Structure 1
Amino acid sequence: MASKSCSSCLRILQRQTTPKVQRLFPRPRTPRSFTTAARYHAESDYNVTNIHPSTSIPPVTPERAEGGSKPASTQTSSSALQGLRKRTTETYTAYGATEILYKECAHQADYSIPQARDKDAEMPKTADEEDLGVGVGWWHTEVGLQPTFSTWSQVTMLHMYLLSARFRCFPATSAQPWQQHLLDHFFYDAENKMMIEHNMHARGTRNKYLKDMYVQWRGLLAAYDEGLVRGDAALAAAVWRNVFKANPDVDIRNLAEITSCMRKDLSKLDGMPDEMLMRADWAFSSPKGENTLVESKSQMMDLPFEKASGRDLTGEKGE
C-alpha cells in the first residue's frame, strides 16, 4: 500500500511541475506579417537551437565545439529571414519616399475651392459643368488651364509618369512596390479631394470616378510611352489629348515647352543614381522657358497641328 501511495504522489508531483518547466521556455510568437515559409523556418530554427522539454539536446560534435559551420536548416532559415527583413525594410522605405515624390507631383497644378467649406455658398462651374476652384502656378497662370479636378489629375499623372518610367529601371523585385506605392498615394489624395473640395460624400460615386481615373492612367502610360518612341510630335499630341482635352485653340508653344520639359526631366532622372532618387531630395524642372526640343520647335510651328501631331483634331480625346 505504501509503495502504491508513493507512486501516486510521484505522478501528481510530475503533473504539477511539468507546466512550470514548460513556462520557463515559452515558444516564440511569430509575427503575423511572416509568410508561411518564413514561419516554418522560424519554428524549425527554434526547435533545433532552444531547449524544450519535448526535444533532446543535440550532441556536441567537433564542429560545434570548435565553432564550425551551422546546420543547413539554420543557414536556410537565416537567409530566408534576412530576405524577409530586407523586403520589409524596402517596402517602408518605398512608401515614405514615394509619398514625398508624390507631393512634388501633386502641387504642380494644385487648387482649392473656398466655397466648398460653406454649405450655403454656390459652387462655381466651368462651361463643361466642372467645379471651378482657385489655383496658382505656371499651369494655371501661363498655360491658362482652369483650376479643376480634371486639370489637377492630368498634370499630376503626367509627372507621375516620369517617375514611373524611372522606376522601371529598378531591380525587378523593387520596381513593382515603388510604382504601386506612388499610385496608391495618388488615389488616396484624389479621393480626399473629392470629399473636401467637391463635397462628394457618397462612396459609390467616388469609386466610380476612381475607376475612371485608373482607366485614364493605364491609357496615359501607353500614350506617353508611344510618344517617347515615336518622337516629340507624337508626345506633344499625347499631352494635347490628355492635359488639354484635345482643345483646338491650344497654344502650340505651350505644348512645345511641356514636351521639352518632359524630355529634360526624363534625361535628368536617367542619369540620377537610384540612391539619390530614393532620397527624394530633388525637384522637377520648371516648364517656363523650355525650348530645347529634340525636334526643332520652329519646325513644328511651321506645320499645321494636324500634321505635327500625326492625328486629326476631331480624333478621340484622351489616352
Structure 2
Amino acid sequence: MLMIRSMVEGKEGRLMRNEITARMWEDCETRLKLMTHMTQSVRRKGLEDLLQQFRASLIAYDEGFLTDDKTLSAALWRTLFTYESVDPKYLELIVQYIRTQVEHLHTIGTEKFFLDGKITWKPFPPFYP
C-alpha cells in the first residue's frame, strides 16, 4: 500500500519505493542469518524463492488494485492465503480494507508522507462482530 502511494510522487516516490524494498530485503537477510541450523545454500535458495514470490505478488496486487475487487480478492487468496480455504466474507473485508487504506494514504500530503516518518493507518475492522 505504501508502494502504491509513493508511486504518485514521481522520481522521489520511485526512490522511496526502492528504499522500502531494499530495507525489506535487508531485514529478510538479517533474519535468515539467525537461522544457523540452515546451510548458506539453503538460506540462499529460500531467499531466491521469496524474491520470486514477492515479484509475483506485486504483479498480482497491482493488477487487482487497478482492476476490480474480484481480481484483488483472487490475488489475496493466492498470495496471502496460499490457496487455502477461506470464508469469502474475510476476503471481502480485506479487499475493502485495502481500498479504504490506499484511499486514506492518498489524503496524506506529500511533505508529511515523505518527512514525518509516521504513517497513520485506518484500524482494521474486527472479523467477528
TM normalised by structure 2 equals 0.85
C-alpha contact (below 8 Å) 1:200/1:206 kept by paired residues: no
Q: Which residue of 1 aligns with 2:7?
A: 168
Distance (Å, rounded) in 2 between the aligned partners of 1:259 and 1:243: 12
> Which amino acid in structure 2 is aligned with residue 187 of structure 1?
W
Higher relative contact order (CA 8 A, sep 6+): 2
Distance (Å, rounded) in 2 between the aligned partners of 1:169 and 1:207: 34
Distance (Å, rounded) in 1 between the aligned partners of 2:10 and 2:119: 22
Unaligned runs of 5+ in 2: none
C-alpha contact (below 8 Å) 1:265/1:284 kept by paired residues: yes
- For these two proteins, the number of residue pairs brought into alignment is 126
The alpha carbon displacement at 1:201 in A equals 5.1
> Which amino acid in structure 2 is aligned with residue 210 of structure 1?
L
**Structure 2 counterpart of 1:219, from 42, 47, 56:** 56
Distance (Å, rounded) in 1 between the aligned partners of 2:31 and 2:43: 10
Distance (Å, rounded) in 2 between the aligned partners of 1:272 and 1:218: 27
Q: Which residue of 2 aligns with 1:182?
A: 20
Fraction of identical pairs, as percent: 24
Q: Which has the larger radius of gyration?
A: 1
C-alpha contact (below 8 Å) 1:227/1:233 kept by paired residues: yes
Look up the SS of the partner of 1:170 in the other structure. helix
> Which amino acid in structure 2 is aligned with residue 237 of structure 1?
A
The alpha carbon displacement at 1:202 in A equals 3.1
Q: Which residue of 2 aligns with 1:277?
A: 113
C-alpha contact (below 8 Å) 1:257/1:289 kept by paired residues: no
CA RMSD in angstroms, aligned pairs only = 1.9
Distance (Å, rounded) in 1 between the aligned partners of 2:57 and 2:25: 15
String of CA shifts for 1:93-149, please: whole Å, max 9, x gaps: xxxxxxxxxxxxxxxxxxxxxxxxxxxxxxxxxxxxxxxxxxxxxxxxxxxxxxxxx
Unaligned runs of 5+ in 1: 1-161, 291-319
Between Structure 1 and Structure 2, the one with more helix by share is 2
Q: Which residue of 2 aligns with 1:202?
A: 39
Quick check: 1:191 aligned with 2:18? no
Q: Which residue of 1 aligns with 2:74?
A: 237
| Structure-to-structure mapping, 1:1-319, within 5 angstroms | 162-172=1-11, 174-196=12-34, 198-200=35-37, 202-247=39-84, 249-278=85-114, 279-289=116-126
